Each structure stands twice: as C-alpha cells, then as structure tokens.
Amino acid sequence: MGMTITEKILARACGRDEVQAGEFINAGLDLALANDITAPLAIKEFEAAGADRVWDPERVVLVLDHFVPNKDIKSAEQARFVRSFARRQRLDNFYDVGRMGIEHVILPEKGLVVPGDVVIGADSHTCTYGALGAFATGVGSTDLAAGMATGEVWLRVPETIRFNLEGRPGRYVTGKDYILYIIGMIGVDGALYAAMEFAGGAMRELSMDGRFTMCNMAIEAGAKNGIVEPDAVTEEYCRGRARRRPVMLAGDTDAAFARVVDIDVSAIESQVARPHLPSNAVPASELADLKIDQVVIGSCTNGRIEDLRMAAEVMKGRKVSPEVRTIVIPGSQEVYQRAMHEGLIDIFIGAEAAVSTPTCGPCLGGHMGVLAAGERAVSTTNRNFVGRMGHVDSEVYLAGPYVAAATAVAGTISVPEAAR
C-alpha cells in the first residue's frame, strides 16, 4: 500500500521507509515556533525541565505579533520576557516590532519553511504551512517546550481526507470561499485529527496565497494539518527565498484515504460564515442588507499581498460607508511595502479606511478593532466564536477580501457587483 504526502513526510522525519495512519512516532523537527502569547509558558516549561540551550538556534523561531505594538503593561512584560530569552539563546530568527509580521505570513515569506518540512508551532494556525507541501501542526506550549529542547515531536500519524476540487471558480470566488464552503459541508469536527489534503485541477490553478488561506483554516474543521502537494506554483514561490533545499514529495497513487470528497468549485458562491462557528457558511447573497459596524481585512488567513489587491480592486475610487469602521492590516512589513509601491495604501486611505502596522490584534479581540456589545463585524480572519473579537454580545461574520471590501463600501453584507 502506498502513502499519502503527509505519511511520506512523517516517514522521512522519523527515518523510516513507511508509516501508517494511527501509528505513534517520534518525528525530527525542521522548525519550532511560538509567539508573544504562547512563548512565555513554553519558555518557563523549557527552563523548568532543566534545559539550558535550544536544540538549534536557527530552527527555533519566536515572533511577537499578537499584542504588538504592545497595547498595555501586561503585553509589554510578555514581550520583554520573550525578547530576553531570544537574546540569551542567540536565536537567529527572533522577530520584534519593525521587522516582524504575523507569524504565519512571515515564515513562508522569509523562506523559513520549505516543502517536506515538519513544523510545530504553539499556535493552532501553524497548519498554514501545509500549503507549501510541509507537515505543519499546532501544539500546546508544553509540547513546544519539549520540541525546543529535543528537536523532536511525538505524535500519531493522522489519516487523510482528500478533497478533490475541480472546475472553474466564479469571478470573485477565492480560496477563502473554498475553505468556508468545505467547513460548512463537513462541520467543525468533520476532519478531527485528520490531514486535509487539497487536490484537483482547481487547486493547481489556485495561487500560493490562496493555498495558504485554505490550509490556515484546516484547524477550523478539527484537522491535524492541511496540505497541498507541491507543484510548479510551489517551486516558483520558493525560488530565491527558501533557506534550505525543498523536498518536493507527492503522495502515491495507491495511497489509502479515509474518504475522498469531490467538489465542483463552479457551484461555489462567495461565502460568509455567520456567528458563531466557521461552519455556519452560506452564500453571501443570503445575508444581503445585513448592517455591519466594522470590517477587518488582514490576519494570518488573508493578510497577504493578493488579499490586499482584491480589497483595493473593490475600494478603488470609492469611499467606505461612514457607518463602517474599516481596518486594513498588512500581514508583514514586506506586504506593507509592496502595497505602498503598488498604490494600494493610497487606495485604502483614499477610501477612508485605517491602515495598521502588522499585528494579529483584532482577530482575537486583542486590540486595533475590539467590538462593543451589539456590534457586527465582517472579517477576513478565521474564527467567529462568541466574544472572539470583543464583547460576548458582538457578532463576527467571516468572509474573503472581496466580500469584506464590498461590505465596507455598501455598509451591509455585499458581493463586489452589489457594491458598485
């Protein structure tokens, strides 16, 4: 019996010819990641275990991105604690204000993750890197501490659910719409501890930014990881940025899947996930005229340059509704700079949107866009749980950049055609 791409990566990482779903293994790590929220606990556990030095200062990455620039004294103390550890350990890849970005945007951007890698991160959306053909998964801070000390992770090999996406998408349908549609179809536990493998003709046509978006939200279906087999699109993305030699693995034709789901993307409309679960996805047209108070465009899900281009395409020459606070957050300094050079920042400011330095801020109700009771937001983020972006009586509607930008202009949930 052949192996899936996830099984092949894990077999290589534990020095075996093959592994099977359900087996427990110790896999060697290529990268271990934490942020300003999760790193302090990992560091404390690392030191409590008696560890003195991280296993490889080039392979442990710390990014300050959730509460930065620091919003209060507590977040400043957290950042200082992480900063001090990074300096003591002489970590090559510590990202602070001014050179940081949202962790799941900057790691691929800087070539720190490459195809074939095994990556753990003390953040659930570490699964983003599966878009490159890597095995990447979120872990708890204590597991991260063990990984930083040993360079290994203990885990169960997940079974794989393959999603074959075929057909041609509609004009404003993106990777965000694909993944919201899939989660709406299978539910928030529909891929529990499974690898969600995205394949098919529509995936081969999808940009790398779109693939990052899809793999980013695999966790919202309960998945262990999301993954796309590397191809020419992957090779082009890695060219000139990969810091290690990519290992371009592909699954075997006789690999065993837990199930295979066939999807015709031409039947998918622009999606919006209603409160309070990402699985509450419906066509945006079903929510037309629902009044919105705030729009957020950014995050580790949709804060890349392609996402900002989509939003700017809709906002160009228009003003956002005076009743909608619109916040645009580039996912990294590189994205911010490219957006400036392409004139996108001028478009956003001209539309009377606010543009922020890179931060996770509003996604988790941290800062830069916290909601009051009774307020509704359309956001390109990944979660819309109760109280996720602020007050427990607020509501978050998840969408892609096209719908978010159209909503900002119209003042109500809209698709681009309706906003014109």
Could you give the dihedral angle defined by the CA atoms of residues 5, 120, 186 and 307, in that order, rounded to the nearest 10 degrees? -90
Give CA–CA dist 288/85, Å, rounded. 50
C-alpha count within 13 angstroms, C-beta hemisphere, residue 98: 0
Token pair of 188 as six digits: 């928030």
Closest CA to 30 of 71, 58, 62: 58
C-alpha count within 13 angstroms, C-beta hemisphere, residue 52: 0
| Contact present, 372 and 283 (Cβ < 8 Å) | no
Token pair of 170 as six digits: 């509609």
Q: What is the pLDDT along the chain (420 residues), one digit of tens a residue?
A: 799 999 999 999 999 999 999 999 999 999 999 999 999 999 999 999 999 999 999 999 999 999 989 999 999 999 999 999 999 999 999 999 999 999 999 999 999 999 999 999 999 999 999 999 999 999 999 999 999 999 999 999 999 999 999 999 999 999 999 999 999 999 999 999 999 999 999 999 999 999 999 999 999 999 999 999 999 999 999 999 999 999 999 999 999 999 999 999 999 999 999 999 999 999 999 999 899 999 999 999 999 999 999 999 999 999 999 999 999 999 999 999 999 999 999 999 999 999 999 999 888 888 899 999 999 999 999 999 999 999 999 999 999 999 999 999 999 999 997 555
Strands 325-328, 294-297: pairing is: parallel
pLDDT given for residue 366 in this prediction: 87
**Other Cβ atoms closer than 10 A to 280:** 17
Give CA–CA dist 414/407, Å, rounded. 5
Give CA–CA dist 16/160, Å, rounded. 19
State the span(s) of the chain assigned CATH 3.30.499.10. 5-263, 275-419
Give CA–CA dist 69/378, Å, rounded. 24
Please, what CATH class does the domain formed by 275-419 belong to? alpha beta
pLDDT given for residue 154 in this prediction: 96
Give CA–CA dist 177/164, Å, rounded. 15
pLDDT given for residue 199 in this prediction: 98
Q: Is the peptide bond before 69 cis (omega within 30 degrees of 0)?
A: yes
Helix (H, G, I), strand (E, B) or coil at 273: strand
pLDDT given for residue 418 in this prediction: 56
Please, what CATH class does the domain formed by 5-263 belong to? alpha beta
Closest CA to 33 of 120, 102, 128, 155: 120
Closest CA to 28 of 140, 159, 142, 135: 135
Q: Using H for helix, E for strand and C for coil, what is the string for 174-229? A: CHHHHHHHHHHHHCCCCCCCCEEEEECHHHHHCCHHHHHHHHHHHHHHCCCEEECC
Give Cα 260 to chain centroid, integer Å.
Answer: 24
Give CA–CA dist 224/226, Å, rounded. 7
pLDDT given for residue 216 in this prediction: 98
